[in-house]
A and B are shown apart, each in its own frame.
Chain A
Amino acid sequence: MASAIYFLDLKGKPLLSRNYRGDVPMSAVDKFPILLLDAEEESSVVPPCFSHEGINYLYIRHSNLYILALTKRNSNAAEILLFLHKVVQVLTEYFKELEEESIRDNFVIIYELLDELMDFGYPQTTETKILKEYITQQSHQLEVQPRPPIAVTNAVSWRSEGIRYRKNEVFLDVIESVNLLVSSTGAVLRSEILGSVKLKCYLSGMPELRLGLNDRVMFENSGRSSRGKSIEMEDVKFHQCVRLSRFENDRTISFIPPDGEFELMSYRLNTQVKPLIWVDCAVQMHAGSRIEFAINARAQFKRRSTANNVEITIPVPDDADTPKFRTSVGTVHYAPEKAAIVWKIKHFGGGKEFTMRAELGLPSVKETDPDRKKRPINVKFEIPYFTTSGIQVRYLKIIEPKLQYPSLPWVRYITQSGDDYTVRLP
């Protein structure tokens, strides 16, 4: 439980705060920037929670803000930190962007929201869609007083009743992010697939949905010999609308969806992934004059697929200058602010291989400390109509017992690079 929540700017000045329990002195926040600074001086390892004079400080950073919670008890740290993230998420969904300026501009509604999000330090309702039904930015324009929607406290706390669409449609996106770490010798050190099933639901009433995937465990449970390919998901996480006990019993994914866009589930696979885009880099360093790169990129997936918006970022020394590039495809530019060169290829066909050569000048005065910053090469891409794991949506059944309308599910697959698709430089 949190005693108080603060929004601070990066200097540690409070922009807005809410004291939930009145059991810690609000002046404790003045110490926060000092404590942070002290901790930084002592060691470069500054954890997201620390204790000082009986008060515990837990904080996260978001754009140009610190969001800080104080507590004097042995509270649930995971819960508080997650709640802070949730606050950021709700406010972002309200104001598009959460930063210093938007806090100043919207303080009235932020106070209102903070009142609903938490009571006496206990998190309450954090569903933006439901909150938006009774906390609006234009409430004074409403003729009638808003009332708490039934959904706030309902078991189905994420969907209101009486939703109507003329055309009932569901769009289902299966997005797989591949994270990969390749050593300088070309060995795959770590690879994982983070999958996510996102839904856009435009359905009337209170529909019951059931999603069927080619999940190996379910195939085995139902005694079905795995016809075709099935996949084994290491760990699955579901949106709170999914009935977890049913999934535990017979691996059925059944749920009443929230209205509009949401992430239904995420999963993780640890299988060894062959790098989809392979990057090979040779560096020749002529200290004091120039540095040469020879980059080889290869698309290691089926010919009928294409990777779009491929972006390969190669780190170069901070003090490099006069870049010269040669490539058969795509464009290359030098981004001195990131100390990197970026090679962009709009369409990269499966099985193709391209090369790029770059030459950058180096100052003749040698730095005393050789460049020891071993930043890796970073690769970004997306491949539509393709999943690395081979996951498939077998069916999506939609039943609204009262309205019984026909409905259309649409499915789309896409594979993309995760935040951490990197190749270490030799």
Chain B
Amino acid sequence: MQASIEKRIRSVFQIPRKGETYELRSGLVSQYAYERKDAIQRTIAAMTLGKDVSALFPDVLKNIATPDIEQKKLVYLYLMNYAKSHPDLCILAVNTFVQDSEDSNPLVRALAIRTMGCIRVDKIVDYMEEPLRKTLKDDSPYVRKTAAICVAKLFDLNPNLVIENGFLATLQEMIGDANPMVIANAVSALTEIQEAAPETNAFAVNADILKKLLLALNECTEWGRITILTSIADYRTADTREAEHICERVVPQFQHVNPSVVLAAVKTILCHIHLLDPELQKQYLDKMSPPLVTLAVSAPEVQYVALRNINIILQKYPDILSNQLRIFFCKYNDPLYLKVEKLDIMIRLANSRNVDTLLSELKEYALEVDMDFVKRAVRAIGQCAIKIESSAQRCVNVLLDLINTKVNYVVQESVIVMRDVLRRYPGYGGVIPTLCQGIDELDEPEARGAMIWIVGEYADKIDNADEILSTFIEGFLDETTQVQLQLLTATVKLFLLKPQNAQPLVQKVLQTITNECDNADLRDRAYIYWRLLSTNSQTTKDIIMSKKPPVKDVIQHLPPPVLEELLRELSTLASVYHKPAETFIGQGRFGADALQRKALEEQAQLAQEEPIQVSAKAGNLENLLDIDFDVEPVAPPTAGVANINLGFNKNSARTSPPIDLNQPQQFRSHVEDLLGMFD
């Protein structure tokens, strides 16, 4: 009995003598070097395919000391991937790391220090001190630039170690290094440390550092230039002379072939331009226009970032690209996300001089195939009409042409747009007959609502307004709330304008709502109307038919505080999403720390899963259940909690602090409106 249990336990921990793992293992410990290398390659191949080969850890580790640099790289790669699952065994590699960091070949030294930083195991961290100290002072710039980044890696794992050992000070000295790439990496590392722990005051650009950065700028690789430009952009100066100097030195970067260097240069100049005198400001803005246009012809994904950024810049400096409308014409095979962005920019660039060209282009887009794009094109025509008064008539004509195409979604969108145009220019009532022709085509709630609004507003000019409304009212209960609300208001308006034939209609609507609808908004509004109607009809008329202020602008603008923030964030994700960073950088469950923990847990789980696999192979069910129980706390989070959190995040995105700032203002203006009404 005793013996059989022991045997069973043994079998759990024994690895099967067949299969891929066994083969790899025997290869890894082969006496022939080429066989070992081949086995390592196959192990890495299996790892690449997503197979878990962490069981081979000790055997792979045996191959770490080798003069073959390719093999060494592979072993190091394996180590980085699985170190977490065998933290204790990693210690065996330390010796080789330390030796390699003193190798005669700079490639090996750099490799050792780079890999050590990537093995995120506490025990390794303790041994990093010496190698890092040496490599930071290495003769080879290749090693130094790698070591500079390694300081940031170490800081991420153990900030105290970095400060206690004076690595931070060494890193700061490296800004004065003779080699541009070392400088760039030192700046990257310092920026990261500064961001993670502002209290260290790791990277405070001053006039002296600025000088060094500007000097290194022209010698750097393209990526180094981005880093340096970004840190110059973040530098705050109050000195006009200094700002002038920065702009002067940065402006040549507009000619760089790498679009993100150009964008970084644009950002740097925009961050300092406000200090210059207006004449000079204009000069720099003029110089900015051609490179911005060129950004709009790079690879589509990069173009997208550029266009989103141009959109922001245009909101602050509307004149910057005023003569470049044609550049933003959509190409036939542009991806849709570009076409939509270009459309938005074109509307911002529209003025009375180029509106004709724009309109004929928009009309062309409205006849394309993709529904989303077509709708936006139609909407753009409306925006054009509302933005540029002199073009209104032509815009309306185009819209009428589009309605005559009888393409369902074009007609619907045109009706919605016409509503907005009528809210801006009430005088265009002449188009209503044409709109009414397509009335049966409308099946989207917004389009139906828009049509009903128009009928209600112009009830006195439409002879059969009561007939139109009554057809809608027949199916009242099937409509969406949005349409129901519009129907209610429109019927009341009709009644006020033509009391004689609308009385039964209005009664029917009010009764239906108060008796059969349970939507609070709808019922409340119906009751208000009802009471108003049953009192003095003149006052009722004054209230309901009062003149509303015309719609002035239907183009979306970012609230000024957000705009200012995004201008400083050009080319980052925030500027692409048009949202301040704190709205999408996860918080709570999805926050940076939580994600990191999740990443660690994931690796820990991997380590724990391994015994499960072994035992599964041995067919020991009891054991499997046992371990499974242990693992459970790490198992995926419950969906419910995640959802709640997500909802919370979304909410917080909407009411993020910068937008909040703007709300009191809006609120005040609403109050004023309300007050003004009773004047």
Contact = CB atoms under 8 A, between A and B. Distances in A.
Interface of A: 1, 14-16, 19-27, 43-49, 51, 53-56, 58-60, 71-79, 81-85, 107-108, 111-112, 115, 119-120, 122-127, 134, 139-140, 145-148, 152-155, 157, 181, 183, 189-190, 192, 194, 234-240, 242-245, 247-248, 263, 265-266, 268, 270, 372-376, 419-420, 422, 424
Interface in B26-79: 41, 44-45, 48, 50, 67-70, 73-74, 77
29 contacts: A15-B48, A25-B595, A25-B598, A46-B336, A47-B576, A76-B572, A79-B223, A79-B571, A82-B258, A115-B114, A119-B146, A139-B70, A145-B107, A152-B142, A152-B181, A190-B326, A192-B327, A194-B297, A234-B290, A235-B294, A237-B262, A237-B294, A240-B222, A270-B326, A372-B369, A373-B369, A374-B367, A419-B333, A420-B331
A374 B368 contact: yes
Interface string B521-535: 000000000000000
B301 A81 contact: yes
Across the A-B interface, give the 7 residue pairs with the lowest CB-CB distance, nearest first.
A54-B586, A54-B590, A235-B290, A78-B260, A74-B581, A244-B252, A248-B252
B230 interface: yes
A240 B372 contact: no
B253 interface: yes
Nearest to B71: A140
Given A51-B573, A53-B590, A248-B251, A148 B70 contact: no
A385 B525 CA distance: 76
Contacts of B319: none
B590 to A, nearest CB: 3
B602 interface: yes
B221 A240 contact: yes
B336 A244 contact: no
Given A22-B600, A76-B264, A420-B331, 12 more contacts: A49-B301, A54-B585, A60-B301, A72-B595, A77-B576, A111-B44, A119-B114, A145-B105, A152-B142, A155-B219, A157-B221, A240-B222
B361 interface: yes
Contacts of A183: 360, 364
Given A48-B304, A245-B252, A82 B219 contact: no
A224 B401 CA distance: 55
A46 B337 contact: yes
A244 B218 contact: yes
B297 A77 contact: no
Contacts of B336: 44-46
B80 to A, nearest CB: 8
Contacts of A44: 336, 370-373
A72 B598 CA distance: 13
A189 B361 contact: yes
B181 A27 contact: no
Given A76-B230, A145-B107, A155-B219, A56 B573 contact: yes
B585 A78 contact: no
A79 B222 CA distance: 10
Interface string B586-599: 11011110111011
Nearest to B309: A78
Contacts of B571: 76-79
Interface in B159-189: 179-182, 185, 188
A145 B305 contact: no
Contacts of B577: 51
Contacts of B587: 54
B599 A237 contact: no
A395 to B, nearest CB: 21
B585 A247 contact: no
